[in-house]
A and B are shown apart, each in its own frame.
Chain A
C-alpha cells in the first residue's frame, strides 16, 4: 500500500537555526514527490516537485532533496514567516491519487 510518513510532527526553531524535515515514502514506482506549504486557514500552496533520486530544488531558504525512499526539506536560516505546516505527497506512476503525509508543523521564533 502506498504510504507517506512525515517527521517530526512539530518542530520549533529559533530564527536562524537551520534544520530539516523528513518525508519517507513507500510508492510502487514514483512519478513525483511534492512539497506544499499550508498556512492556517488557507489551502496548501505548491512548492516543489521532485521526480528522481538525486534531484534537488531550491526556493529562497528552502531546498528539497530526494532519495529512493526519502525526501528532505532543508530550511536554512529560517525566519518567523517560514512558520507553517509543510506537507509532503507522492504520486505513483500510472496512478491519479496523490498520497499526502500528515505534515510537519514548523514554528520559528524571533
Chain B
C-alpha cells in the first residue's frame, strides 16, 4: 500500500501567484480531508469530502481557497491569489468508510509564499 500521496512536497511561490496542491488518497477510502498545520494554530481542518462530495468547507479561510475531488483517487487544493500568511504545511488525509475512523495522512506540502 503506497499510502496517501501528495505533490509537490515543497512549493515556493511569490505573493499573488496561483498554487495547486495535489493528493491521491489510499485506494478504497471514501473520505478525504485537507488540513493546514502551523506552529501557532496546530492542525486546522480546511475541507472534508465524502464519496467525492464536499461535505463541509467551513474551515476554508476565504474565497481564495478552493478544493475539488473529481474522482475517488484525486483531489486538489488551490489558492488564488496566494499571500504570505498562507505559508504552512498542508496535509491531505484519507479514511476508510468501513473499517475504523482513524485518518491516514500524506507527507504534506510545505508552502512558502514570499
Contact = CB atoms under 8 A, between A and B. Distances in A.
Interface of A: 31-32, 34, 36, 41-46, 49, 87, 91, 96-98, 100-103
Contacts of A46: 102-105
B107 A96 contact: no
Contact of B42 (A41, A96, A103): A103
Interface string B33-62: 000000000110100101000011000000
Interface of B: 4, 31, 42-43, 45, 48, 50, 55-56, 91, 93, 100-108
Q: Chain A at the B interface: mostly helix, strand, loop or mixed?
A: strand
Contacts of A98: 45, 101, 103
Q: Chain B at the A interface: mostly helix, strand, loop or mixed?
A: strand
B55 A96 contact: yes
Contacts of A41: 108
Contacts of A100: 42-43
Contacts of A43: 4, 91, 93, 105-108
Contacts of B48: 96-97
A15 B102 CA distance: 30
Nearest to B59: A97
Contact of A31 (B101, B104, B108): B101
B102 A96 contact: no
Looking at B45, B102, B104, the one whose CB has the most chain A CB atoms below 10 A away is B102
B42 A45 contact: no
A76 to B, nearest CB: 23
A3 to B, nearest CB: 13
24 contacts: A32-B101, A34-B103, A41-B108, A42-B107, A43-B4, A43-B106, A43-B107, A43-B108, A44-B43, A44-B91, A45-B105, A46-B103, A46-B104, A49-B100, A49-B101, A49-B102, A91-B101, A96-B48, A97-B45, A97-B56, A98-B45, A98-B101, A100-B42, A103-B42
Given A87-B43, A91-B101, A96 B56 contact: yes
A36 B43 CA distance: 12
B103 A96 contact: no
